Amino acid sequence: MWLLNSSIGRKLVMSITGTALVLFLLFHGTMNLVAIISPDGYNAICEFLGANWYAVVATVGLAGLVGLHFLYAIALTWQNYRARGKQRYAVTDTQENVEWASKNMLVLGFVVCGFLVLHLYNFWFKMQFAELTGIETGQFSPTDGAAYIKLLFSNPVYCVAYLVWLTAIWFHLTHGIWSALHTMGFNNTVWQQRIKCISQIFATLVILLFASVVVYYGVSAIVNGEVAFVW
C-alpha cells in the first residue's frame, strides 16, 4: 500500500494527521480561554464534553491520531537517515527561520509527547477518568475544571513546565504546518513565503491561547498570595 511504502504516502499521512491535531489544539486552546472569561462557562463546556460515550470515542480517536502521527514521524526520520545520513526529517527545502525546527522535529516530538503524558495525568486522569470511574484523584471535584486549572497553576513549577512544553509545541508547529501545506501542494515560489508566514502566525495564535491561561492563573496566584506547590 502506497501510504505505507511510499515516501509521499507517509508524508501525506503525516500532513493529514498533523492538520487534524492542529485543529484540535485550536479548539482546545479556545475552550481553555473561556476559563479566564467565565469559569462557569468553562465548566459548562467540560460538562458537555465530559464523561459520556462520545467523549470517550473522541479521546480514543485523538489518541489514535497522535499514535499514527508519531509512528509515521519515526518511519520518515529513519527513512531519511538511511537515505541522507544525518540530515533529518522529510522536507528537503530549507527555510531560514525554521531551519532549527526542521532539523529537530523528532526531538521536539519526543519532548511534546513527554509533556503530553504529564498533561494527561493532570487533566484527563484527574478529570474525565475520575468522573467516569468515580475515583477521587485530587483536592477538587472532577466536574469543576475551572477550580482545578486555578489550583494547578498556583504551582510555579507547573507554570514553568507548561511554558517550556508550549515553546516546544510552537517550534514543532511552525515547521509542521509549513511542511503539511508544502506536502499538500502549496510549494511553488509564490506560496513559499506566504505559507511560512501563515505557519508562524497560526502556531503563535494557538500557543498564546494556551499560554494566556497559564500566565493568567500563575500571576494571579502570586498577586493574591495563593502560590501553592500542589501535585
pLDDT, one tens digit per residue, over 134-155 is 777 666 777 788 999 999 999 9
Work out the pLDDT band at 212, boundaries 50, 70, 90.
very high
Closest of 54, 44, 49, 57 to residue 28, by C-alpha: 49
**Structural domain boundaries in the chain:** 2-223
What pTM was estimated for this model as a whole?
A: 0.82
Least confident range of 15-24, 27-36, 184-193: 184-193
Cell of 28: 482546545
Q: Which CATH fold would you assign to the domain 2-223?
A: 3 helical TM bundles of succinate and fumarate reductases (1.20.1300)
Residue with cell 501553592: 228
Distance in angstroms (rounded) separating the CA atoms of residues 93 and 106: 17
**Helices H / strands E in the chain, number of each:** 10, 0
Compute the distance between CA of residue 38 and CA of residue 165 in angstroms, rounded to an integer: 25
Cell 504529564 belongs to: 118
The pair phi, psi for residue 95, each rounded to 5°, is -120, 135
Angle of CA points 47, 52, 53, to nearest 5°: 150
Give 72-108 pLDDT, tens digit per residue.
888 777 776 666 655 444 444 444 444 666 777 778 8
